[in-house]
Amino acid sequence: MKLEQVTPVGEVVARLLSPHAEVVLHDSATDRIAAIWNPLSGREVGEPSLLGELDELTETGRDAYGPYPKVLPDGRRLSSVSAVLRDDAGTAAYVLCVNVDRTAFETASRLLAAFAAPVSGQPRVLFEHDWTEKLNESIAGYVQERGVPVERLSRADRVELLGRLDAAGVLSQRRSVPTVARALQVSRSALYQLLAEARKESHADPA
């Protein structure tokens, strides 16, 4: 197995995981680094691989190892995998190691966890007069209750929902009609028809 046959593998892996991974190709015959991409560890080609355990590893019948933890001198934690590459005779010719820096992923995990933390309720002083909030909450609650998206609401569903919005005072707000029509995905004329039907049913309700 020639070095030029193996290096494209290390190069494409490094390209895919850049800049978060170091890819190292070790020559098992010389126990030295044959190639390295994105050297997070600061190592260079020709330095000792320090793979003294290679003979032991290649006798286990396994050629893929990891993920296993490693640490850089600056304290950064890595997740690493290694693959033993054999020639046609079955002899371990090279060991390809991929060392992924976990820093960016751990930072992202903490950030996402912070965003997922419970949030406090809306301050009433800011939102008590915002009728669009009431509109959005009412529609969201109704479609969740019905189990269908807005565009699949039936005519009866829209009449019922408009009745609720009207009772909540949303339709009495200035310029509410175009906003409500857009939210329900109907035309203004259709909204007026549905609203008339909702109010007619409300007046006919003995309750």
CATH code, domain with 15: 3.30.450.20
Q: Is residue 57 part of a domain?
A: yes
Q: Are residues 12 and 89 in the same domain?
A: yes
Q: Are residues 137 and 82 in the same domain?
A: no
Q: Are residues 8 and 92 in the same domain?
A: yes
Helix (H) or strand (E) holding 35: strand 32-37
pLDDT of residue 119: 57
Q: Is residue 114 part of a domain?
A: no
pLDDT of residue 108: 85
Q: Are residues 29 and 79 in the same domain?
A: yes
In whole angstroms, how far apart are CA 111 and each of 76, 101, 119, 197?
18, 17, 15, 49
pLDDT of residue 52: 57
Cis, peptide link before residue 48, omega less than 30° from 0: no
Q: Are residues 17 and 94 in the same domain?
A: yes
* Amino acid identity for residue 57 in this structure: L
pLDDT of residue 127: 41
Return left, alpha or beta for 117; rule: phi > 0 is left, psi -120 to 50 is alpha, else beta: beta
pLDDT of residue 126: 40
What is the number of other CB atoms lying within 10 angstroms of the CB of residue 86? Answer: 15
Q: Are residues 10 and 68 in the same domain?
A: yes
Q: Answer with the one of 47, 70, 103 that is the final residue of a domain.
A: 103
Q: Is residue 95 part of a domain?
A: yes
Q: Are residues 141 and 178 in the same domain?
A: yes
Helix, strand, or coil here: 130? coil
Count of domains for the chain: 2
What are the backbone dihedrals phi and psi of residue 171, each rounded to the nearest 5 degrees, phi first? -75, -10
Q: Are residues 148 and 185 in the same domain?
A: yes
Q: Answer with the one of 103, 133, 149 that is the final residue of a domain.
A: 103
Q: Are residues 58 and 146 in the same domain?
A: no
Q: Is residue 119 part of a domain?
A: no
Residue written as token pair 């001198």: 73
* Domain boundaries, position 140: 124-200
pLDDT of residue 196: 93
Q: Is residue 111 part of a domain?
A: no
Q: Is residue 207 part of a domain?
A: no
From first to last of the 207 residues of the chain, give the pLDDT tens digit: 889 999 999 999 999 999 999 999 999 889 899 999 999 988 899 998 876 555 555 555 678 888 988 888 777 889 999 999 998 888 889 999 999 999 888 888 888 887 776 655 544 444 445 678 788 888 988 998 888 888 899 999 999 999 999 888 888 888 889 989 999 999 999 999 999 999 988 776 654
Q: Is residue 110 part of a domain?
A: no
Q: Are residues 20 and 97 in the same domain?
A: yes
Helix, strand, or coil here: 95? strand
